[in-house]
Amino acid sequence: MKIFLNGYMGSGKSLIGKMLSDSMGYPYVDMDDQIEIMEGTSIHEIFQKKGELYFRKLENDVLKDILASNSDMIISLGGGTPCYGNNFELIKADPENITVYLKASVEQLTQRLFLEKVHRPVISHLDTKEQLEEFIRKHLFERAYYYNQSKIIVDVDHATPTMILEKIKAKLD
């Protein structure tokens, strides 16, 4: 079984993925980390030097490698991964794959991401909380179609990581 965590950046995919991995004993894969290892540079550098289209191609290649593996694992997708190309269709093609949407509100995401926007290439250019909130609101509207196709949807607002983990595990049973 492969469990794919998806949701907007800042929704907790990496933290919850590691916790779920520890809890279930499955290996953990972070898509962004895999891309950085493959390219030998940061996501930020890839975006700056080669652009988003190049990044999305790498993302699709890494996803195909993960899907080709016979191993059980927990995978944190990038925030945009399910929304580009045929990525979400590839994931859903295998009925054994489980998709989990970590659903966070625009307000919660704005609070989290404003503090770390310098480390996020897609939003690093936004100067105010209002600009960031508008950007997130637009993206969530565009991506909701994909995110909401997940087999499991977990509201993460005002929930501790442990509570989120327990919600996911309860829905896996």
Cβ(153)–Cβ(170) under 8 Å?
no
Q: With DSSP H G I counted as helix, E B as strand and the rest as coil, what are the percentages for the chain, rounded to 5?
A: 55, 15, 30
32 is in an annotated binding site: yes
Residue 44's pLDDT band (boundaries 50, 70, 90)? confident
Q: pLDDT tens digit string along 8-25?
A: 999 999 999 999 999 999
User: Has 51 been labeled as part of a binding site?
Assistant: no
Q: Looking at residue 137, what is its pLDDT?
A: 96
- Residue 7 marked ligand-binding: no
Buried b (16+ CB within 10 A) or exposed e, 130-160: eebbebbeebbeebeebbebbebbbebeebe
Other Cβ atoms less than 10 A from the Cβ of 121: the count is 17
Please check the confidence at residue 97 and state whether its pLDDT lies above 90. yes
Would you state the pLDDT for residue 47? 86
Mean local confidence (pLDDT), 155-168: 96
Q: Is 15 annotated as a binding residue?
A: yes
CA atoms of 119 and 42, how far apart (whole Å): 10
155 is in an annotated binding site: no
pLDDT at 96 over 80: yes
Dmax (CA) for the chain in angstroms is 45
What CATH number was assigned to the domain covering residues 2-165? 3.40.50.300
Beta carbons of 122 and 47 less than 8 angstroms apart: yes
Residue 79 counted as an annotated binding residue: yes
| Residue 80 is labelled as binding a ligand | no
120 labeled part of a ligand binding site: yes
Annotated binding residue 42: no
Q: Which amino acid is at 53?
A: L
How many helices and strands (H and E) does the chain possess? 7, 5
The residue ranges of every structural domain in the chain are 2-165
The answer to whether the annotation marks 12 as part of a ligand binding site is: yes
* Residue 5 phi, psi (nearest 5): -95, 125
